[in-house]
Amino acid sequence: MLEKIIRDFVMIWTTIDPISTLAVFAGLTASLSVSERRGVARRGTFYAALILVVAVVLGQIILDAVGVRLLSLKVAGGIILFLFGLQMLFGSVSLGPGSHEKGRDLAVFPLAVPTIAGPGAIMAVILLTDNDVYSIPEQIQTAVVLLVVLGLTYVLLLISDAILRAIGQQGAAILVRVMGILLAALSVELVLSALGIGPWATPKH
């Protein structure tokens, strides 16, 4: 059980990527007051939580409805998460202060989607709560881990200025790349398990 909790935490943390999120948040809200920044952080985290919880509850139901098998989901998810990890490792185009349309709520776009609840995070929570593999208590456990990560993300957003001052942009970049390596390794494990190789291999029925 502890192994699954740790694995869930690492995968959800790396796909949500709070370090990159706080860097983006700091840039997007640089011109806002403290109270406005807190409001954006609160709403953005809440909207992202809604999206990811819906993915946990309905994601597998939708996949079953369209006939997607677990093995196919694991292989496709592993490939997507691997590419996501490579993007974190080698860098990608960041959203800047001027990257949103006037009048749009920053909490919705780009903070909630795609910064916090991006495709990698959505794919990860669906894979980690698959109805064919995990029991209801295990899925609830993963959902709790998800909420913990989102809670930590919210706290980081509130103190984003202090954190960036402490570790600097270079420090943040290094942490993001380390998490990219971890995510790439976890995604390879997903594919190997789908192929029946390794300790997390999917049982053959």
Can you tell me which residue has the tokens 């960041």?
Answer: 94
Q: Residue 62 half-sphere exposure, CB side, CA atoms within 13 Å?
A: 9
Q: Cα–chain-centroid distance for residue 33?
A: 27
Structure tokens at 152: 């930590």
Phi, psi of 144 (to 5 degrees): -65, -45
Q: Which two tokens stand for residue 62?
A: 């939708």
- Does domain 2-92+105-194 fall into CATH 2.40.128? no
For the segment 70-79, the average pLDDT, to the nearest whole number, is 80
Q: What is the pLDDT of residue 84?
A: 81
Q: Helices 2-16 and 70-90 meet at what angle, rounded to 10?
A: 50
pLDDT for 120-141, tens place per residue?
899 899 999 988 788 999 999 9
Question: Does 101 have pLDDT greater than 70?
Answer: no
Domain map of the chain by residue range? 2-92+105-194
* Confidence at residue 96, expressed as pLDDT on a 0 to 100 scale: 44
Rounded Cα distance between 185 and 82, Å, is 8
Q: What is the pTM of this model?
A: 0.77
What's the rounded Cα separation, in Å, for the pair 196 and 44? 39
- Going by C-alpha positions, the residue among 96, 89, 135, 105 that lies closest to residue 40 is 105
- Poorest-pLDDT segment among 9-13, 32-36, 47-51, 196-200: 196-200
C-alpha to C-alpha distance for 184 and 190, rounded to whole angstroms: 10
Is residue 99 scored above 50 in pLDDT?
A: no
Q: Note the pLDDT of residue 199.
A: 53
Distance between CA atoms of 136 and 171, rounded to whole angstroms? 39
Q: Which residues contact 100 (CB under 8 A, 6 or more apart)?
A: 28, 106, 109, 110
Average pLDDT on 139-154 reads 96
